[in-house]
């Protein structure tokens, strides 16, 4: 099969592309750095020639509800229109556990993305995953302010991006599933502890201050709304084992 991965250069995208190839399929990477823009549509039609399924793992750095809804809504609609023109019958999207319920900030964009797909008669799969183990690294970089290290106060059950990429590659090679089971890691964590452990593994012993995020977004990530459902598939790799492997 020929499988296109939109966002195939990103954190989970690189693992997804690797998994598609490991499974013996051809992977096409759609990203601005490869000449394809899912917002303007530039390069999209040419890149989707002969493709059998599309996995969407694009993302934006915004926390603004309006900008996130615009990004994920437009990206999804543009991809679906191009898939239609190319006769592609399977669109796989990666969403986030709890995002549709919280429906605020960045998560409002994921909720909008899910709604666009769920309104279709078929031909789509949505995998909701929890935060990646790699999210601790993303937070350590994004939330360093004037030498102080912050981390959102967040209950989560993180999973390795590699496990998410493998699951997406498997889904894309099969029939559309609609809304799939949640995918999560083995147990609950606190993001503040993860960021502290991530820094400590690099010899940085600084204190990590918990940041209580405002509004519905902050409340949701504090109160367990982004923890997986009871029928979730759980990968076995813990954050600490993932971290030890990164720094070995």
Ligand X SMILES: NC(=O)c1ccc[n+]([C@@H]2O[C@H](COP(=O)([O-])OP(=O)(O)OC[C@H]3O[C@@H](n4cnc5c(N)ncnc54)[C@H](OP(=O)(O)O)[C@@H]3O)[C@@H](O)[C@H]2O)c1
Per CB under 6 A, residues contacting ligand X are: 6-7, 9-13, 30-33, 36-39, 57-59, 94, 96, 110, 129, 131-132, 135
Nearer of residues 134 and 149 to ligand X, judged by Cβ: 134
Compute the distance between CA of residue 100 and CA of residue 110 in angstroms, rounded to an integer. 7
Least Cβ distance, residue 52 to ligand X (angstroms): 20
Nearer of residues 132 and 198 to ligand X, judged by Cβ: 132
Compute the distance between CA of residue 54 and CA of residue 52 in angstroms, rounded to an integer. 7
Q: Which residue is nearest to ligand X (CB)?
A: 10
Least Cβ distance, residue 15 to ligand X (angstroms): 9
Nearer of residues 160 and 208 to ligand X, judged by Cβ: 160
Least Cβ distance, residue 5 to ligand X (angstroms): 9
CA 113 to chain centre: 12
Nearer of residues 58 and 192 to ligand X, judged by Cβ: 58
Least Cβ distance, residue 94 to ligand X (angstroms): 4
């Amino acid at each position: 099969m020929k499988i296109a991965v939109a966002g195939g250069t990103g954190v989970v995208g690189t693992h997804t592309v690797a998994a598609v190839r490991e499974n013996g399929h051809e992977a096409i990477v759609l990203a601005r750095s490869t000449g394809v823009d899912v917002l303007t549509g530039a390069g999209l039609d040419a890149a989707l020639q002969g493709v059998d399924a599309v996995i969407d793992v694009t993302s934006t750095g915004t926390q603004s509800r309006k900008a996130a809804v615009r990004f994920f809504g437009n990206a999804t609609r543009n991809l679906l229109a191009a898939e239609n023109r190319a006769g592609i019958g399977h669109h796989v999207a990666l969403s986030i556990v709890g995002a549709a319920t919280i429906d605020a900030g960045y998560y409002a964009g994921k909720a909008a993305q899910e709604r666009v797909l769920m309104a279709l008669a078929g031909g789509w799969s949505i995998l909701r995953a929890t935060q990646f183990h790699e999210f601790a690294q993303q937070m350590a970089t994004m939330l360093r302010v004037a030498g102080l290290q912050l981390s959102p106060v967040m209950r989560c059950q993180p999973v390795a991006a590699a496990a998410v990429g493998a699951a997406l590659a498997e889904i894309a090679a099969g029939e559309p599933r609609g809304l799939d089971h949640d995918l999560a890691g083995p147990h609950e964590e606190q993001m503040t502890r993860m960021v502290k452990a991530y820094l400590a593994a690099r010899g940085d012993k600084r204190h990590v201050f918990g940041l209580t995020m405002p509004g519905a977004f902050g409340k949701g990530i504090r109160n367990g709304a982004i923890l997986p459902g009871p029928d979730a598939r759980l990968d076995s790799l813990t954050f600490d084992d993932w971290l030890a492997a990164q720094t070995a």
